[in-house]
């Protein structure tokens, strides 16, 4: 199955997720990201 083309809404949503992960390390951990681990 091919990945679908990313829309403007997808890019906005990804930006919000990136910002939350950067600002709240606990959110980053909860969603499986590694960034912010050094801030605990």
Whether 16 is covered by a domain: the verdict is: yes
Cβ–Cβ under 8 Å, residues 31 and 37: no
Whether 14 is covered by a domain: the verdict is: yes
**Number of domains, the chain:** 1
Cβ–Cβ under 8 Å, residues 17 and 3: no
Per-residue model confidence (pLDDT) at position 9: 97
Phi and psi (nearest 5°) for 31? -100, 5
The domain in which residue 30 lies consists of: 8-34
Question: Can you read off the two tokens belonging to residue 27?
Answer: 């959110």
The predicted-structure confidence for 1-40, as pLDDT tens digits, reads as follows 678 999 999 999 999 999 999 899 888 989 998 876 776 6
Residue for token pair 């403007």: 8
Per-residue model confidence (pLDDT) at position 38: 72
Residue 26's alpha-carbon distances to 12, 15, 18, 31, 39, in angstroms, are: 21, 17, 13, 9, 10
Per-residue model confidence (pLDDT) at position 39: 66
Per-residue model confidence (pLDDT) at position 2: 78
Per-residue model confidence (pLDDT) at position 35: 74
């Amino acid at each position: 199955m091919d990945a679908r083309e990313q829309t403007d809404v997808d890019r906005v949503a990804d930006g919000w997720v990136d910002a939350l992960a950067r600002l709240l390390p606990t959110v980053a951990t909860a969603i499986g990201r590694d960034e912010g681990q050094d801030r605990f």
